[in-house]
Amino acid sequence: MGAVDVQSHRVETPDEVAGTVRRVAEILGPKRVWVNPDCGLNHLPRDVAFAKLKVVAEGARLFERELGGT
């Protein structure tokens, strides 16, 4: 699922990413959601792409904590 906008240089917050994951999990169920980087990051400036990867990981961790994970 696309948790960040690969067409924008704006870096989302971890809370925004967790919110996107949450909305998808409401439809598919939390056990069926995998948060992965999108190959579309390759055209972004390196610093923006890495920042987006970082918030994807942080947002996924926030979502896992909401579910009671570690």
pTM above 0.95, yes or no: no
pLDDT digit string, tens, across residues 16-47: 999 999 999 999 999 999 888 777 899 999 99
Going by pLDDT thresholds of 50, 70 and 90, the confidence category of residue 48 is: very high
- pLDDT score at 37: 74
Burial 30-68 (b: 16+ CB within 10 A, else e): eeebebebbeebeebeeebbebbeebbebbbbbbeeeee
Rounded to whole angstroms, the Cα distance separating 4 from 16 reads 9
Locate the domains of the chain by residue range.
14-66
- pLDDT score at 40: 84
Going by pLDDT thresholds of 50, 70 and 90, the confidence category of residue 68 is: confident
